[in-house]
Amino acid sequence: MALINQATKELQVKVVYYGPALCGKTTNLVKVHENVQTAQEKGKLVSLATSSDRTLFFDFLPIEAMSIKGFKTKFQLYTVPGQVIYNTTRQLVLRGVDGIVFVADSQYEKMAENVESFANLEENLKANKLNLDEIPYVLQYNKRDLPNVAPVDYMEYLLNNREVRVPAFEASAHKVEGVFETLNAITRLLLQKFINESKKPA
């Protein structure tokens, strides 16, 4: 869970990009890294990938939000490996997660994989003694620029049909469309949660 250091006025938050294999999780981080405006020197994007650029352990991007005053607000963005066999690794990366971006592949033929990956997310959170009802998350429907995409309503029906509906964004991550909207949305949800919790009596 987030690290709050009153001494150094620092808030550190962990966001994990989750989703099926090849849905564009790493592309999201790469595009954030390439395109973000930063006040200070930009953190390095670390990718632990195979020789064919498939994520093996995780990608990691440390980044600081520009327009939040009072606390130095540092975000650690992670991706998980999407391939089904790397489940233990996904569980490890979810340790201490504060917020989640679920990246879904909009292509019709990927719907089953999206649903399976979402169910896998819930299971892996439980393995970490966490619950999706208590963790801010947003959905991103990626690859909207491809010809064979499912309608957004259908994806909403499949992935956003829990008791509380969450913000969902259409994206074409490789064109940087929807990438920053998604990141800003999860950041806002997270900070709002922290602010609300800070108002509760100890």
Partner 1 sequence: MSTLPQLLEEDVQELNKALEELLTRSEATTALVTDKAGFCIVQQGDLDTFDATSLGALASNSFNANQAIAQMINEPNFNTVYQQGEKHSMLVMDVDEFTVLIIIFPAAVSVGMVKYYAAQAAQVISRQLMIAKSRSPGQGIDLAMLNMEDSSQLFKKKDL
Which neighbouring-strand residues pair with 139?
102, 168
22 Ramachandran zone, left/alpha/beta (phi>0; psi -120 to 50):
left
Figure out which of the listed residues 27, 28, 55, 73 binds partner 1, where binding follows CB under 8 A. 73
- Can residue 187 be called a binding residue for partner 1 (CB under 8 A)? yes
Stretch 21-60: interaction string toward partner 1, x if CB under 8 A:
-----------x--xxx-----xx-x----------xx-x
Work out whether strand 137-142 and strand 99-105 pair parallel, antiparallel, or are unpaired: parallel
Figure out which of the listed residues 23, 65, 100, 104 binds partner 1, where binding follows CB under 8 A. 65
For residue 187, give the DSSP letter: H
Token reading at 50: 């195979």
How far from chain centre, in Å, is Cα 87?
Answer: 17
Among positions 74-113, residues that touch partner 1 (CB under 8 A) are 74, 76, 78, 88-89, 91-93, 95-97
CA distance linking residue 194 with residue 198, whole number of Å: 6
9 vs 165, beta carbon nearer partner 1: 9
Q: Are 106 and 141 in contact (CB under 8 A)?
A: yes
162 vs 175, beta carbon nearer partner 1: 175
21 vs 91, beta carbon nearer partner 1: 91
- Can residue 175 be called a binding residue for partner 1 (CB under 8 A)? no
Q: Which of 150, 167, 148 is nearest to 101 (CA)?
A: 167
Least separation in angstroms between residue 119's CB and partner 1 is: 21
List Cα–Cα distances, 139 to 12, 41, 202, in angstroms: 22, 29, 32
Applying CB under 8 A, the residues found at the interface with partner 1 are 1-9, 11-12, 14, 32, 35-37, 43-44, 46, 57-58, 60, 62-63, 65-71, 73-74, 76, 78, 88-89, 91-93, 95-97, 129-130, 176, 180, 183-184, 187-188, 191, 194-195, 197-198, 200-202
